[in-house]
Amino acid sequence: MDNGKRIADEVRETKNAIQRYIGAEIARMGYGDVSFAQGGIIRFLYVNRDRDVYQRDLESFFDVRRSTLTGILQGLEKNGYLERVSVESDARLKKLVLTEKALQLEAKICENTDHNESVFLNGFREEEKEFLFAALERIRMNIRKETEERPQKDAEIRKGE
């Protein structure tokens, strides 16, 4: 099928539209000092509040580089949403803990997240939603598989040269 569309372009455009929409919602809801990425981190930390979460956990979950995440976390700390707390077993480790200010904001984020999800999926039948999520997961699996196999393929190519 060659209709001129490319999945990477479609996903990028959709991601950008979602981020613009959520950015506007953040401003409308009155918590404009929190970015899209910061809101996602607050949400993740809230959902995982029953366990210790470290920066490496966020790097893995959000699939972002350490330097990118460091900047986002520094902004959350600066604005009073996050604290880094030393761990007794290893003074080098700092777990990430939401402040009371972040916990109050989380209720708004959760409410808004549910609203956003209903906007994004408006008009989709249940089987269409299931297909969409399955297709996106398959794309991620294909990328992971290719990424994991690439070093071996590259070595085979070099060996054959």
Instruction: Specify whether 132 is located in the same domain as 55.
Output: no
Residue 1: inside a domain, yes or no?
no
Instruction: Specify whether 115 is located in the same domain as 130.
Output: no
- 13/26 Cα distance (integer angstroms): 20
The band of 28, judged by pLDDT with boundaries at 50, 70 and 90, is: confident
Q: What is the pLDDT of residue 93?
A: 87
Tell me: pLDDT of 1 over 70: no
Range of the domain at 81: 7-122
Q: Over the stretch 87-137, which tens digit does the pLDDT of each residue have?
A: 888 878 899 999 999 988 888 778 888 889 999 999 999 999 999 999 999
Query: Is the pTM for the entire model greater than 0.85?
Result: no
Residue 20: inside a domain, yes or no?
yes
Residue 141: inside a domain, yes or no?
yes
